[in-house]
Amino acid sequence: MNRAGCIIAAGLMVISLAQAQEPMPIDFDETGAGGLSFDMNASFLKGATIKGGSGKVEVSSLDVAWSWSFLSLEYQGKSYNWESASEGPFFPVPEPLWNTLNTVWLTAGYSNSIDRSLQYSADVDVFASFEREHFGLVGYEVEGALFYSLPAGWRAYGGMALHYSPFQTDVYPMLGLRRGVDSEPGWAVVLGIPETKVQYRVNSRYALAAGVSVLNVDYYLLAMDNVDEHDRYLETSDNRLFLVLNVTPSKKLQVGVGLQYTVDNELMFYSENRQNLNSYRLSNVPGLLLQAQYRY
């Protein structure tokens, strides 16, 4: 999951309170302060050809999050199904293979209003990413953003997200404009980074959303018995286009089903001294999406 998107949703909660309004479909600002919520996102990608290798890989992912008040606990698991000849999917290079990659986040967030037009939001995450339970890459993320109300119902936001681990430090921008509310009939638009989305809600039950998600980057420490002395770290990255039909059978429950198209999908292996050893681009592939949100 792209963690930078979470602070945007949290900050929009502040705007909603002032105006009476993360790697969709219910906005975090609709869960209610102090409420308990459960979010689930699952996806399945068709077998992607490994360019520069000799095989394919299918990727399934599951992302679940529990939120209460200013705290949230999230788990993401990615399952890999390798298809190749006896030489291996990365042939002629004998790269390591893995079955599941895991990440766990614990997040604390805070948001408030400076005045009727200006609001702010901040998150602090502690995370661990690992191939197996005994081999973890532990780090933290700090995110901050400002939100400003504009004429004609538009809102602008801007901020930064800092990702730190013993292996890598990254800084991501968060910029964009938003208009409309996902839960209300009509158009709702988000134009920005890391996500751009356009939704049209027909009525209180049905809505159709389409968009693109970028900067989907994750780092993992591979298990020692799965690598040689050089290949210890793995970076995965991609950009995604999506189309989702959202159905809201009740005020507490919303589900979504849709299609996803993944592009710029890349696997990069690094040594312990952060030297990029090998990179592999995967072919662009379609996939399926399933989403659910429940508010207690």
List, for the chain, all residue ranges whose pLDDT scores fall below the cut of 70.
1-34, 85-86, 133-135, 225-231
Specify whether the CB–CB gap between 14 and 119 falls below 8 A: yes
- Phi first, then psi, for residue 2 (nearest 5°) are -80, 110
| Residue-level pLDDT at 205 | 95
DSSP state of 50: B
| Residue-level pLDDT at 11 | 42
Whole-angstrom distance, CA of residue 265 vs CA of residue 12: 30
Determine the residue type at 44: F
233-247 and 253-270: which strand pairing? Answer: antiparallel
Whole-angstrom distance, CA of residue 212 vs CA of residue 92: 34
Determine the residue type at 235: E
- Those residues whose C-beta lies under 8 Å from the C-beta of residue 60, and which sit 6 or more positions away, are 42, 43, 44, 45, 78, 79, 81
Residue 134, number of CB atoms within 10 A of its CB? 8
Note the pTM of the prediction, 2 decimals.
0.83
Residues 144-199 pLDDT 10s: 999 999 999 999 999 999 999 888 888 988 999 999 989 899 999 999 988 999 99
Domain count, the chain: 1
| Residue-level pLDDT at 159 | 95
Whole-angstrom distance, CA of residue 123 vs CA of residue 111: 9
**Domain enclosing residue 54, as ranges:** 4-295
DSSP state of 194: S
Whichever domain contains 204, its CATH number is: 2.40.160.40
- Those residues whose C-beta lies under 8 Å from the C-beta of residue 229, and which sit 6 or more positions away, are none
